[in-house]
Chains A and B, each alone.
Chain A
């Protein structure tokens, strides 16, 4: 509670807490981190993210950073990308990784699952046309395998092709030889990952964070 006294803008916190579902403590800690990343500025830009050293060895770094600047993740039904984000947008994107609470109805759980899957979908669908085409999926697999050694693009292509084939089989079932499968729509994506239990997996522990553990 002491930390909260020193942080400005408490009425804003109430607003943010309502919007994102974080507690005051969590918002406080995230705000500290935000300030650290932005060098006490008001907004974050892509190069601020690029400065994080641990992120450098992550194979899908570019896509993660893009996700923060993607309007579709701001829950305002926007589209396109922005160049810089404020604390509110930062918090909204982070809220996608909040764990579901213990007592939830089945419907609420469905909503949480849909939301998280939407986030993933947006990450894959880079050109924002509502479908993940074969090219985009190939790009995803290539990025995943990029840091794992030079095994050539062919393997990534084959894996992506096989995966796409699987999606098509699951979603479309029967197709004539000359029909063409456009790409994975959001409904197909939901169907594909139905058994994946994403609401149990796509979570970050936002508790127990205090300043000494924050990395530089």
Chain B
């Protein structure tokens, strides 16, 4: 392979990048393959060394020690073997991910999961060719304890609660009844098929009913990892996504119970009615127990986050550790760990997000995405490697029948269940929907790991099972995964709404909630909305007060959403270059003036006579502002690990003071200027503003008392009239602003014709708040304007 790339690289610049990636891959794989024999070679050396020393220690009187020259450089691979290999695998996985996106056409046709499995196959093949023993990578313990939790936590934390709850009945039906149906159908029919050849007694006849049912239960569960990997790329509409995805998450409880039930009794050979009954009870215990454990840890995490205002740095750690402990605790009792994780993430999220700082929120988001991404990549690669390595027992009948039965069972199950479910749904599922749900039932690594866990003594056919499981996984991931995208296009299934969530939609969502609750009350019908409303009120009255720190507990959802939206707009504006070009969201030139009601004529003519700022002055102001902004940026660059915030006492504090003095003169002359802000804001002592000020910045606690007369330059950011203006704020002003209620000399204020006096005040405060938020943003790139995961407070 290296020679091929060297031949090609002179051929063109455009082709060199993927070729380089391939070269890197080859190097990595060979390195991996070569370090293993090296490891084997070096460890005897060290051992031998140790032996010699011991021998020498023992024979004190012998004095046979041959003096070796002092080893300047020695190789001790054994010492670091395990972490090194792990890091190498993770590196390989990440480089693969990079590589795929460099080859654009490939990633459009083939889903990432397929490519990763292929890579795994290649790597496994290479290792085998090199004559080494393939490391047992898909060890079930490793999988269940290390690789699976990040993916599930990511899914659970960012689970869209509202559509999930609205469709919970449907999801549960598919998850529980659907999986049961699949398991028994596949297991039973397989057993029947295995027995049908009496004339030609094959090895299949040894297969009993219970192992078949066990196999059926392993292979019937829809896998969340595979579903996530494929559905993420096809951008299907929210309803279908949550149906398939929710099903894949919730069927874990069923799988756990069935697996343990059949595994326990396969050795004995029979399952009585009592056992079946106990199994049903066990199911409820497993499912509800898992959710309960998760909820408890979630509440603990939320409660802990209430007190983290002084140690912002370790906030994300609480989220991760509590969730992982929830998973482990559930697994300890053989409850459903997946459901525990989902419950923990979903329960803690609204409260934790109200308590933690913006930076912690970003950290949590990125860490979860990063870990789940790496985990997913590793899982697929390992699947490929384990395929090459495993001892396979290929049996044509068994495997083909399994694959066919899986498909058939899924289709029948979905169609049958939808027929029943549609009787209870308001918005019925169409045939197209049913097809996508059936086609999206992918199997993945969980099935493989469960099969791997089987004991070879109890299950002599274990290898055959594994082969069949792998074939089903390959079939679903490759065939179904690759074809689902064109099918979605062909059937013109509704895609995900790309539109940003607007304030109007939020208002109307709230309005509709209350309206429907009211209508239900008038009808006298205690329906969904009634109970949801009751739960919300309970939540607001008791739970939020316990779990959320400070004033934020009283903030209604609409206001929280509104502030979030404002923040996003402010960040967008900064990122788009300080308002030089207007953000895409508002391509119109409509501003606040257009919607303010018309004034009575006298006041209107007075405000119409707007004193224009002379050109020269404007330039001067702009220059000063720009240079001050540079100062600010320099200031923010230094930080220490404990505060993560710039120390304003560094870097030219005195120059800043001088500049401020000059500014005071200037602003006195331009005080009548008015140019309004487009986005109005919260009053100064609203919960969010207090939190935003105090929260992220420990600096605000140690305020210098003598900084009262520090004026600030507040210039409107986004108004069309001043495209080059930029916002800046004196950090000291922050704390003082919140203490002072009265109107103050706020520096350069540019306001448009204002309708009422009240608007002035809110405009200034908004200026303060926006700027302060921008200050946070300058040091932290912040999240992208990504609406997907940011759900409202409590839907």
Contact = CB atoms under 8 A, between A and B. Distances in A.
Nearest to B428: A102
Contact of B586 (A169, A178, A196): A169
Contacts of A135: 597
Interface residues of A, number: 71
Interface stretch (B122-130, B521-529, B702-710): B521-529
Interface of A: 30, 33, 36-37, 49, 52, 54-55, 57-61, 64, 94, 97, 99, 102, 120, 123, 133-135, 140-141, 144-145, 148-149, 151-152, 154-155, 157-159, 161-169, 172-181, 192-193, 195-196, 198, 200-206, 209, 213-215
26 contacts: A49-B522, A55-B522, A58-B517, A59-B514, A61-B518, A64-B515, A144-B558, A148-B558, A152-B683, A157-B680, A161-B592, A162-B680, A166-B503, A166-B504, A167-B504, A177-B591, A178-B593, A180-B594, A193-B504, A202-B515, A203-B427, A213-B525, A213-B526, A214-B524, A215-B524, A215-B526
B679 interface: yes
Contacts of B686: 151, 155
Contacts of A181: 590, 594-595
Interface of B: 422, 426-428, 430, 497, 499, 502-505, 507-508, 510-512, 514-530, 537, 540, 554-556, 558-559, 562, 586-598, 678-683, 686, 758, 762
A169 B526 CA distance: 40
A159 B596 CA distance: 14
A214 B592 contact: no
Contact of A144 (B428, B430, B507, B526): B507
Given A120-B508, A141-B507, A175-B589, A203 B426 contact: yes
Contacts of A202: 512, 515-516
Nearest to A193: B508
B505 A30 contact: no
Contact of B588 (A94, A172, A193, A213): A172
A91 B537 CA distance: 30
B507 to A, nearest CB: 6
Contacts of B428: 102
Most buried by B among A167, A178, A205: A205
A6 to B, nearest CB: 19
A54 to B, nearest CB: 4
The 9 tightest CB contacts between A and B, nearest first, are: A148-B556, A158-B680, A214-B524, A54-B521, A64-B518, A169-B588, A102-B428, A99-B426, A168-B590
B523 A204 contact: yes
B518 A60 contact: yes
Contacts of A102: 422, 428, 430
Given A52-B521, A181-B594, A181-B595, A158 B681 contact: yes
Contacts of A167: 504
A33 B524 contact: yes
Contact of B590 (A49, A148, A169): A169
A33 B522 CA distance: 8
A58 B681 CA distance: 27
A192 B505 CA distance: 8
A173 to B, nearest CB: 5
Most buried by A among B502, B504, B510: B504
Contacts of B556: 145, 148-149, 151
B595 to A, nearest CB: 5
Contacts of B499: 195
A177 B588 contact: no
Contact of B678 (A64, A99, A165, A215): A165
B295 to A, nearest CB: 26
B508 A196 contact: yes
B558 A159 contact: yes
Contacts of B497: 195
Contacts of B520: 204
Given A158-B681, A166-B502, 20 more contacts: A55-B522, A58-B514, A58-B517, A58-B518, A120-B508, A123-B515, A133-B597, A134-B595, A149-B556, A151-B554, A154-B683, A159-B507, A165-B678, A167-B504, A169-B586, A169-B590, A174-B589, A176-B589, A196-B508, A204-B523
A205 B680 contact: no
A201 B512 contact: yes
A100 to B, nearest CB: 8
Contacts of A177: 589, 591, 593-594
A158 B762 contact: yes
Contact of B519 (A97, A99, A161, A178): A97
Contacts of B522: 33, 37, 49, 52, 55, 64
A205 B528 contact: yes
A189 B764 CA distance: 32
Given A169-B588, A181-B595, A193 B515 contact: no
A165 B555 CA distance: 23
A34 B428 CA distance: 29
Contacts of B529: 204
A161 B680 contact: yes
Nearest to A213: B526
Most buried by B among A64, A149, A159, A180: A159
B595 A161 contact: yes
Contacts of A176: 589
B526 A162 contact: no
B526 to A, nearest CB: 6
A60 B514 contact: yes
A137 to B, nearest CB: 9
B527 A144 contact: no
Contacts of A64: 515, 518-519, 522
A213 B525 CA distance: 7
Nearest to B586: A169
B588 A173 contact: yes
Contacts of B508: 120, 193, 196
B518 A204 contact: no
Contact of B516 (A152, A196, A204): A204
A51 B593 CA distance: 44
B516 A97 contact: yes
A161 B503 CA distance: 10
A37 B528 CA distance: 22
A178 B503 CA distance: 25
